[in-house]
């Protein structure tokens, strides 16, 4: 029995080690061992011993890996939504928050910042009260700031970034990312010198940490600053450096972002031919990674570019693709809204049924209480009558005996 307990404890320790390692190293996906296979094996082990917390952590790890390594946002979100209710059942507030924030960043990367904001604000509630884990704390504020940035709510974004920067002395990958975010805000405000200063600071931190994803992001953001400054050759140099890192580690969704940035720079430079070439590459990646919002942008851009180059056949073709995809996206969005509404109504119906059940139970309890009181009162009344009768009988007997004696 003791050996069995020891084996289970060792198994739990190994499951935790795999998940903790994945969580801490997720910014650098260049690994010798297949992390997805490792996490899948850990999930089976966790299930075999009914280790609920381990199961939830494995779902979270697999969800992150599916997005970064398998480039499948839809499957990633499904895995994360399997982890979330388990953490809620365990009332593990820290991992509820981390899962919500992971949902936020993946949803935002899929081109849905409004939905991402919901997850971010729900997730950050925990970290606003708990600062003990600086790595996750900084991450929480980076993600929330980034969602606000993509919604073009720059004042809110700056507030969250600056709150997270308080922990920049930790020199972790998320403090590097926050400087990237702040650099974006200064870029939007036209403060390009300050933006470049923070962009390079971020790049230094991320390179030191060997954070591939973060480094490529910093390079792309520096490229965006030079694009704003109309220094297109410098912009293309930094965009291309970021693209190379993303291609080397096969980060397909991020490769797509780099291709779109480069194509847009060639448009500003006046080179429509190169812009079309990079948008065509982006089209392939957008189809592979199933990112329809990005794909719609690519279709629209190609339609416009072909029109500007007097290639009306291809222009019409891409306009048709753009219109068809846009209609499909709107249909899916409507279906999602209807589904959410139906779920909400069903939930409300269930709550009303439960409320009515409680009302019925209360009414039944009240009736039983009233009946009990009536019965109790009747018994008490009967006792009083009986006592009175007994008293009368005794009095009558005494009086009769007295008359007989007399």
Query: Quick one: average pLDDT of 278-297?
Result: 92
342 in a structural domain: no
| Integer angstrom CA distances of residue 326 from 249, 281, 301 | 31, 20, 14
Q: What is the pLDDT of residue 35?
A: 76
Res. 303: pLDDT tops 80: yes
Higher-scoring residue by pLDDT: 363, 131: 131
Among 34-48, 225-239, 358-372, which stretch is predicted with the lowest mean pLDDT?
358-372
DSSP alpha helix (H) spans, 51-133: 52-68, 73-90, 93-109, 113-127
Residue 69: pLDDT band with limits 50, 70, 90: confident
Backbone angles phi, psi at 271, to 5 degrees: -105, 85
For the segment 28-64, what is each residue's pLDDT rounded down to a tens digit? 554 455 778 889 999 999 999 999 999 999 999 999 9
Higher-scoring residue by pLDDT: 35, 87: 87
40 in a structural domain: yes
- In a 13 Å sphere around the CA of 73, the CA atoms on its Cβ side amount to 24
Query: Quick one: average pLDDT of 295-304?
Result: 94
Query: Quick one: average pLDDT of 293-320?
Result: 94
69 in a structural domain: yes
3-state secondary structure of 81: helix
Query: Quick one: average pLDDT of 215-242?
Result: 95
Please check whether residue 266 is in contact with residue 274, taking contact to mean a CB–CB distance below 8 angstroms. yes
Higher-scoring residue by pLDDT: 241, 69: 241
- DSSP per residue, 299-364: HHHHHHHHHHTT-HHHHHHHHHHHHHHHHHHHHHHHHHHHHHHHHHHHHHHHHHHHHHHHHHHHHH
Q: What is the pLDDT of residue 400?
A: 43
25 in a structural domain: yes
Which range of residues forms the domain containing residue 21? 1-91
59 in a structural domain: yes
DSSP alpha helix (H) spans, 173-229: 173-188, 192-208, 212-228
Res. 373: pLDDT tops 50: yes
159 in a structural domain: no
Query: Quick one: average pLDDT of 363-392?
Result: 60
Residue 178: pLDDT band with limits 50, 70, 90: confident
Query: Quick one: average pLDDT of 212-218?
Result: 88
Q: What is the pLDDT of residue 2?
A: 46
For the segment 252-264, what is each residue's pLDDT rounded down to a tens digit? 888 999 999 999 9
29 in a structural domain: yes
- The number of distinct structural domains making up the chain is 1
Q: Rounded to whole angstroms, how far apart are CA atoms 215 and 217?
A: 5
Q: Rounded to whole angstroms, how far apart are CA atoms 197 and 236?
A: 19
Global confidence as pTM: 0.65
Q: Rounded to whole angstroms, how far apart are CA atoms 10 and 206?
A: 35
Q: Rounded to whole angstroms, how far apart are CA atoms 400 and 397?
A: 5
Q: What is the pLDDT of residue 260?
A: 96
Question: Which is nearest to 247 in space by CA: 273, 218, 281, 197?
Answer: 281
Res. 213: pLDDT tops 70: yes
Query: Quick one: average pLDDT of 148-169?
Result: 87
Q: Rounded to whole angstroms, how far apart are CA atoms 20 and 42?
A: 12
285 CB contacts (<8 Å, ≥6 apart)?
Answer: 252, 253, 255, 256, 259
Q: What is the pLDDT of residue 205?
A: 87
348 in a structural domain: no
For the segment 102-113, what is each residue's pLDDT rounded down to a tens digit? 999 999 988 888
Query: Quick one: average pLDDT of 209-238?
Result: 92
Question: Which is nearest to 138 in space by CA: 44, 211, 84, 30?
Answer: 211
């Amino acid at each position: 029995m003791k050996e069995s307990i020891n084996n289970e404890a060792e198994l739990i320790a190994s499951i935790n080690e795999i998940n903790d390692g994945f969580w801490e190293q997720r910014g650098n996906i260049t690994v010798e061992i297949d992390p997805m296979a490792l996490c899948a094996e850990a999930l089976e082990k966790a299930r075999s011993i009914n280790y609920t917390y381990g199961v939830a952590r494995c779902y979270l790890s697999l969800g992150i890996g599916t997005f970064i390594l398998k480039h499948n946002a839809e499957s990633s979100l499904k895995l994360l939504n399997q982890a979330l209710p388990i953490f809620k059942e365990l009332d593990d507030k820290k991992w509820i928050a981390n899962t919500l924030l992971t949902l936020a960043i993946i949803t935002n990367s899929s081109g849905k910042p409004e939905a991402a904001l919901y997850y971010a604000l729900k997730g950050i509630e925990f970290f606003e009260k708990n600062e003990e884990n600086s790595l996750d704390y900084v991450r929480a504020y980076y993600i929330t700031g980034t969602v606000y940035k993509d919604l073009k709510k720059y004042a809110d974004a700056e507030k969250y970034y600056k709150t997270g920067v308080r922990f920049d002395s930790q020199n972790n990958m998320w403090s590097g990312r926050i400087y990237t975010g702040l650099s974006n805000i200064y870029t939007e405000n036209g403060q390009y010198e300050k933006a470049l200063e923070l962009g390079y600071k971020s790049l230094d931190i991320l390179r030191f940490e060997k954070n591939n994803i973060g480094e490529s992001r910093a390079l792309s953001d520096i490229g965006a600053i030079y694009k704003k400054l109309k220094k297109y050759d410098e912009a293309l140099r930094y965009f291309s450096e970021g693209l190379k890192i993303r291609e080397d580690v096969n980060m397909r969704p991020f490769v797509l972002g780099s291709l779109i940035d480069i194509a847009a720079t060639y448009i500003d430079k006046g080179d429509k031919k190169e812009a079309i070439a990079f948008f065509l590459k982006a089209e392939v990646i957008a189809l592979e990674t199933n990112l329809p919002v990005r794909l719609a942008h690519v279709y629209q851009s190609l339609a416009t570019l072909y029109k500007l180059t007097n290639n009306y056949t291809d222009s019409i073709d891409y306009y048709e693709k753009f219109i068809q995809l846009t209609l499909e996206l709107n249909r899916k969005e409507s279906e999602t809204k209807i589904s959410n509404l139906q779920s909400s109504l069903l939930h409300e119906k269930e709550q009303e049924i439960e409320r009515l059940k409680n009302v019925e139970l209360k009414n039944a309890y009240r009736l039983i209480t009233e009946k009990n009181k009536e019965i109790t009162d009747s018994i008490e009344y009967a006792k009083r009558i009986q006592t009175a009768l007994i008293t009368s009988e005794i009095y009558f007997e005494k009086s009769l005996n007295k008359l007989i004696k007399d």
